Amino acid sequence: MSVGELYVPLAEGDLHLEPLREDHREALRAACAEDSEIWEIYPFCYMGEHFDPQFDSLLASPPGRCVYAVLKDGIVVGMTAWIAFGDPGWSIEIGNSFIVPSLRSTGFNRRLKRLMIDHVFACGYERVVFKVDVINTRSRAAVRKLGAVEEGVMRRERKTWTGRVRDTVIYGLLRDDWQAQGGLAANA
């Protein structure tokens, strides 16, 4: 199964993931503008003059990257993506994630990730990967709460838009681990 085959609309209650479209542009611009500080620790900036080129690159993503608009009650509140990682049909990365500050620490991100993880394991994948900047302590904690295990650090993995050289922590979540903690895929 390819990354593109995972790329279907997903929903649970007031939470909807829609494949990113041009008509999400202004709503996502507004969502990204709600947190001017977060972009300093992201590899790319989605503020001000940086937004349109970044959004255009998301729409033109290569086959190995499929980006969603994240909606709550029909309002765009962020983005996330499937990113090819490892053996196709076996392993996938969830990344390019951002949600507005008002939804952080509310359980919304956990619901979002559970929806995606349940979907990927129901589709037969065995492994989900998260790549997180070593200095992004909030995201690292959120990934650990999902049951993902820190597998190592890729030193000097990339240069961010600010010119800072980033170390990236790799986290892995296996199907068996997810089922053991009661993930919905346990019943699939």
Query: What are the pLDDT digits (tens) for 103-147?
Result: 998 999 999 999 999 999 999 999 999 999 998 888 899 999 999
Q: Mind listing the pLDDT tens digit for each residue in 13-48?
A: 999 999 999 999 999 999 999 998 888 888 899 999
Side-chain half-sphere exposure of 9, counting CA atoms within 13 A: 7
Res 176 pLDDT > 50 = yes
CA dist list (Å): 67 to 13, 81, 144: 20, 4, 23
Domain topology for 3-187: Aminopeptidase (3.40.630)
Report yes or no: 169 and 41 within 8 Å, Cβ to Cβ: no
pLDDT for position 1: 60
**β-pair partners for 136:** none
Q: Mind listing the pLDDT tens digit for each residue in 40-92?
A: 888 899 999 999 999 999 999 777 889 999 999 999 999 999 998 888 888 99
Domains of the chain, by residue range, sit at: 3-187
Q: Which residues contact 156 (CB under 8 A, 6 or more apart)?
A: 165, 166, 167
Please give the angle made by the CA atoms of 67, 44 and 109, to the nearest 5 degrees. 50
What six digits make up the tokens of 138? 């909030």
Distance in angstroms (rounded) separating the CA atoms of residues 184 and 58: 30
Higher pLDDT pick, 157 / 144: 144
pLDDT for position 82: 95
Residue 177, helix vs strand vs coil: helix
Distance in angstroms (rounded) separating the CA atoms of residues 110 and 104: 10
Res 188 pLDDT > 50 = no
